[in-house]
């Protein structure tokens, strides 16, 4: 089972200097690649000079996370890809539980480890935490993270569990599955492309697993912080893309209508908070969705859409009305 760790980079020399050594030290049985998205800094020169065993892939443009990985992985020889953010610190023996899971769990195609916060190491990190799920309206959340509330890691998710989506911050995926699904949707650019990818994998009958016996630490926000309006724009727009592509037609139209209403409420909430740039980000996200609706609709695959894709009916209602911010309480509720 040949594993390749592929780190997507864009002007991230500082991050590579800080985090690449841990990947090299603790991943002796894997090949390591840096896939560069047409950086203008000295990232590639730094890696070439200091880590000559690391293989370099040079993309001709910055196509974001989605196109960046699609372009790079064509040049990677491996059975399993590990897509690793450049701001992730890995830990000793982190690959062993992942390899065991791929070897022993039938139909597993995608795996993520436990994602902890590099700056508060006893807390889960926003991007992925203890494995991803969505609610009936397509809003993503995680074990260990619901909206902006992060749980302390007390070992409550030190398990191996089937999940709905795995984070792109550290995602292991079989090469043949990545190719079968034609990779990420490049129209997403960045954010929630992994939710769409995993949703399509589920519709094709594959399993996605969380392996909590493997852990990494994620700095987070290195490309776009949660306070950046561009992140708001991409998250709201791309979530609508995924609903359009991955649900049965009639259900998709109903969910989109409800989502547009709730997105409008979220936009008004941003006005109340005087965060006007985020209000306009949602407005622009909806305009972009309308413009590209026909294109996204044509991407719907002729496959059997899974009926039970959600864990709860409304994470928005549970979190903002019932004040449930702990995953295990949510599931019991």
pLDDT single digits (tens) 253-308: 999 999 999 999 999 999 999 999 999 999 999 999 999 999 999 999 988 899 88
Provide the sign of the torsion angle of the four alpha carbons 256, 261, 266, 268, taken in this order.
positive
Q: What residues contact residue 120 under an 8 Å CB cut-off, 6+ apart?
A: none
pLDDT band at 199 (very low <50, low <70, confident <90, very high): very high
Q: Are 252 and 244 in contact (CB under 8 A)?
A: yes
- Identify the domain boundary among 218, 245, 277: 218
Phi, psi of 89 (to 5 degrees): -105, 120
Same domain, 278 and 242: yes
Residues 6+ apart with CB under 8 A from 265: none
Q: How far apart are the first and last CA of the chain?
A: 41
User: So what's the pLDDT on residue 12?
Assistant: 96
Q: Is 290 in the same domain as 188?
A: no
In a domain, 311, yes or no: no
Per-residue pLDDT band for 149 (boundaries 50, 70, 90) equals very high
The mean predicted confidence, pLDDT, of the chain is 96
Task: Judge if 193 and 241 occupy the same domain.
Answer: no
| Contact between residue 151 and residue 145 where contact means Cβ atoms under 8 Å apart | yes
CB 216 within 8 A of CB 114: yes
Residues 239-243, mean pLDDT to the nearest whole number: 98
At 225 the pLDDT is 58
Query: What local confidence, expressed as pLDDT, does residue 332 receive?
Result: 82
Claim to verify: residue 84 and residue 156 sit in the same structural domain: yes
What percentage of the chain exceeds 70 in pLDDT? 98
Is residue 33 included in any domain, yes or no? yes
Label residue 158 by pLDDT band (50, 70, 90): very high
Q: Measured between alpha carbons, how far is residue 31 from residues 7, 76, 87 in Å?
A: 11, 9, 18
Side-chain-side CA neighbours of 106 within 13 Å: the count stands at 1
Length of the chain: 333
Chosen domain end from 197, 218, 239: 218
Query: Does residue 47 lie in a domain region?
Result: yes
- 172 and 54: one domain? yes
Domain range enclosing 291: 229-301
Indicate whether 117 and 158 sit together in one domain.
yes
Task: Judge whether 237 and 289 are in contact, CB under 8 Å.
Answer: yes
pLDDT score recorded for residue 227: 74
Based on the fold, state whether residues 18 and 122 are members of the same structural domain: yes
Q: Please give the tally of structural domains in the chain.
A: 2
Is position 308 within any domain?
A: no
Q: Say how far apart CA 314 and CA 187 lie, in whole Å.
A: 27
Distance of CA 123 to the CA centre of its chain: 18
Residues 113 and 88 grouped into a single domain: yes
> What is the Rg, in whole angstroms, of the alpha carbon atoms belonging to the chain?
19
**β-strand partners of 37:** 59
Boundary of a domain, candidates 218, 253, 279: 218
293 in helix, strand or coil?
A: helix
Do residues 215 and 91 lie in contact, with contact meaning Cβ atoms separated by under 8 Å? yes
Please tell me whether residues 71 and 139 are part of one structural domain. yes
Residues 193 and 235 in one domain: no
Does residue 292 belong to any structural domain of this protein? yes
Tens digits of residue pLDDT in 315-328: 999 999 999 999 99
Q: Which residue has the higher pLDDT, 310 or 302?
A: 310
pLDDT digits (tens, 9 = 90+) for 177-198: 999 999 999 999 989 999 999 9
Domain for residue 90, yes or no? Answer: yes
Residue 48 vs residues 23, 53, 149, 233, 264: alpha-carbon distances, Å: 16, 8, 40, 36, 48
Whether residues 191 and 283 share a domain: the answer is: no
Q: How far apart are CA 83 and CA 203, in angstroms?
A: 22
- 137 and 203 together in one domain: yes
Q: What is the pLDDT of residue 101?
A: 98
Q: Do the beta carbons of residue 126 and residue 150 sit within 8 Å?
A: yes
Q: Is residue 18 part of a domain?
A: yes
Write out pLDDT tens, residues 21-67: 999 999 999 999 999 999 999 999 999 999 999 999 999 999 999 99
Query: What is the CATH classification number for the domain harbouring 154?
Result: 3.90.550.10
Is the pLDDT at 76 greater than 60? The verdict is yes
In a domain, 326, yes or no: no
**pLDDT at res. 223:** 57
């Amino acid at each position: 089972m040949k594993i390749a760790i592929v780190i997507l980079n864009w002007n991230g020399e500082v991050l590579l200097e800080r985090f690449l050594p841990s990947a090299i030290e603790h991943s002796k049985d894997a090949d390591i690649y840096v896939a560069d998205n047409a950086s203008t800094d000295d990232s590639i020169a730094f890696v070439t000079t200091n880590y000559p065993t690391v293989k370099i892939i040079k993309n001709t443009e910055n196509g974001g996370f989605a196109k960046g990985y699609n372009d790079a992985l064509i040049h990677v020889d491996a059975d399993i890809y590990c897509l690793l953010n450049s701001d992730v610190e890995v830990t000793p023996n982190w690959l062993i539980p992942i390899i065991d899971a791929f070897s022993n769990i039938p139909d597993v195609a995608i795996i993520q480890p436990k994602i902890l916060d590099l700056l508060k190491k006893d807390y889960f990190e926003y991007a992925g935490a203890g494995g991803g799920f969505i609610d009936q309206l397509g809003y993503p959340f995680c074990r260990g993270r619901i909206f902006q509330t992060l749980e302390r890691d007390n070992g409550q998710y030190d398990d191996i569990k089937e999940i709905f989506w795995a984070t792109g911050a550290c995602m292991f995926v079989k090469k043949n599955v990545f190719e079968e699904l034609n990779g990420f949707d490049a129209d997403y650019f960045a954010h929630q492309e992994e939710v769409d990818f995993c949703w399509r994998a589920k519709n094709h009958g594959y399993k996605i697993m969380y392996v909590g016996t493997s852990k990494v630490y994620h700095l987070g926000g290195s490309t776009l912080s949660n306070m950046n309006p561009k992140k708001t724009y991409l998250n709201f727009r791309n979530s609508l893309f995924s609903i359009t592509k991955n649900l049965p037609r009639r259900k998709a139209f109903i969910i989109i209508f409800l989502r547009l209403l709730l997105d409008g409420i979220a936009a008004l909430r941003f006005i109340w908070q005087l965060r006007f740039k985020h209000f306009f980000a949602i407005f622009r996200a909806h305009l972009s969705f309308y413009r590209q609706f026909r294109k996204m609709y044509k991407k719907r695959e002729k496959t059997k859409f899974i009926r039970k894709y959600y864990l709860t009916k409304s994470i928005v209602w549970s979190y903002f009305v019932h004040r449930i911010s702990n995953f295990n309480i949510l599931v019991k509720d």
